[in-house]
């Protein structure tokens, strides 16, 4: 397959003002990231880019002015103007012929399920499928989106990853993961008065056990009573920042979630309370909203344990007011992405939370930390470099502003306002 050749030239200036000036001249700021080559700051001709890029997974050859060899890559991410819809910034991921790469393909449902017509509720749990393929398969065997017709689904039916049949590529999601299901509505499964009383008694006993397992001291008993109704308030929010406890991890990239919450709580001149081994927390008030700030202490890969207890104690009814703040090595350093749901994208702490809560529909604010190493583990546990530390305060402030907007303005506004490369874009 002949690759699309796209011309680019080095970008000499960085910063918001420079990015704005470039766009006014018909150019698009871009970044090229590769585990094998140096990262490049680039400029694209807007008209050429819009003309050549026809599919989401086109294989490109970047011909960079002054570079001897072309750069084989794919478009990893694009940022769009929230109103005009034009491209503001492009991120390219370098690829190597013969080496497999992963891409996330949107999973779109079509049709109306028979179970919905009968009064059921359709739950779309997985909206992106992680696919492994070779560069030569793009875009021939990898579609822009995967579509699934749900017309024949009845109440009680579900579709799992293992039910998908795409022999042209390998799906990396857990085969047992549920993609979509049709459940009975509350009206359809209304219990009898006797069943309702029995269920209520069982739930009350379970709730007592959950709380007693977490709160043992007198002070914690008071806090448990206080938090037990927290999740029932529609103006209550829980913000969970992920990281690893201990001074050895203090300034590592993996702890950027902790850093955001630490900077956020500084705005209130408060400190976190630690009264158990699962998490630190602090409650603040913001624009008539009650906000619980939480830092799990279970280490990153077990973050779900802390969040599970937190959800149980607060009696949280919906996850739309729960925001997870974490690092993402798939995003360039300085890039911020807020999403209402989706897969964990390789972030182990987020993966633990999604598995524990048994849903992907948990809002998450991802802070890009880049990827300079072949081994992601080495990279996420490495400290920020000196130049990055100088830029980090601006990134953390932007993330804190995004958290505040999520609480006060809602997720749609926050995504359109804050999803961008902090150091490059407006």
List active site positions: 254
Q: Give the integer Cα–Cα distance in Å for 29 and 424.
A: 8
Which sign does the torsion angle of CA 35, 37, 38, 43 carry? negative
Scan for tokens 């910034």, then name that residue: 89
Q: Give the integer Cα–Cα distance in Å for 35 and 73.
A: 12
φ/ψ region of 68 (left if φ > 0, alpha if ψ in -120 to 50, else beta) reads alpha
Closest CA to 291 of 195, 138, 407: 407
Closest CA to 165 of 145, 182, 146: 146
The tokens describing 407, both together, are: 């609480």
Residues 6 or more apart whose CB falls under 8 angstroms from that of 58 comprise 4, 52, 74, 75, 138, 139
Q: Give the integer Cα–Cα distance in Å for 303 and 296.
A: 6
φ/ψ region of 345 (left if φ > 0, alpha if ψ in -120 to 50, else beta) reads left
Which sign does the torsion angle of CA 141, 147, 150, 152 carry? negative
CA separation, residue 115 to residues 125, 161, 176, 180 (Å): 17, 20, 22, 12
Residue 177, helix vs strand vs coil: coil
Q: Are 35 and 96 in contact (CB under 8 A)?
A: no
The tokens describing 68, both together, are: 């001897």
The tokens describing 124, both together, are: 């779309």
């Amino acid at each position: 397959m002949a690759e699309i050749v796209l011309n680019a030239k080095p970008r000499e200036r960085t910063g918001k003002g420079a990015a704005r000036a470039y766009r006014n001249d018909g150019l698009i700021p871009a970044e090229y990231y590769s585990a094998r080559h140096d990262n490049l700051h680039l400029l694209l001709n807007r008209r050429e880019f819009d003309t050549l890029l026809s599919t989401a997974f086109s294989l490109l050859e970047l011909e960079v002015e002054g570079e001897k060899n072309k750069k084989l890559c794919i478009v990893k991410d694009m940022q769009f103007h929230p109103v005009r819809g034009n491209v503001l910034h492009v991120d390219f991921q370098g690829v190597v012929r013969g080496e497999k790469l992963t891409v996330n393909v949107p999973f779109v449902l079509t049709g109306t399920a028979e179970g919905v017509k009968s009064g059921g509720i359709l739950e779309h749990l997985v909206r992106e499928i992680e696919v492994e393929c070779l560069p030569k398969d793009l875009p021939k065997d990898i579609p822009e989106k995967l579509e699934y017709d749900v017309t024949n689904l009845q109440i009680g039916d579900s579709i799992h990853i293992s039910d998908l049949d795409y022999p042209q590529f390998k799906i990396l999601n857990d085969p047992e993961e549920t993609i979509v299901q049709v459940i009975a509505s509350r009206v359809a499964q209304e219990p009898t008065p006797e069943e309702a009383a029995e269920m209520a008694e069982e739930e009350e006993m379970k709730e007592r056990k959950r709380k007693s397992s977490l709160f043992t001291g007198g002070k914690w008993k008071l806090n448990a009573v206080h938090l037990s109704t927290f999740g029932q308030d529609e103006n209550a929010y829980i913000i969970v920042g992920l990281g690893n406890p201990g001074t050895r991890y203090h300034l590592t990239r993996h702890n950027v979630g902790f850093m955001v919450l630490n900077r956020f709580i500084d705005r209130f001149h408060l400190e976190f309370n630690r009264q158990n081994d699962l998490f630190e927390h602090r409650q603040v008030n913001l624009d008539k909203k009650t906000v619980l700030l939480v830092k799990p202490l279970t280490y990153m890969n077990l973050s779900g344990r802390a969040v599970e207890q937190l959800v149980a104690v607060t009696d949280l009814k919906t996850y739309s007011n729960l925001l997870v703040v974490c690092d993402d090595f798939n995003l360039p350093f300085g890039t911020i992405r807020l999403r209402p749901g989706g897969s964990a994208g390789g972030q182990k702490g987020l993966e633990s939370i999604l598995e524990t809560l048994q849903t992907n529909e948990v809002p998450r604010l991802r802070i890009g930390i880049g990827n300079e190493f072949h081994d992601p583990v080495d990279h996420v546990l490495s400290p920020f470099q000196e130049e990055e530390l100088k830029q980090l305060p601006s990134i953390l402030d932007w993330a804190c502003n995004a958290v505040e907007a999520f609480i006060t303005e809602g997720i749609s506004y926050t995504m359109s306002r804050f999803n961008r490369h902090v150091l490059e874009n407006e």
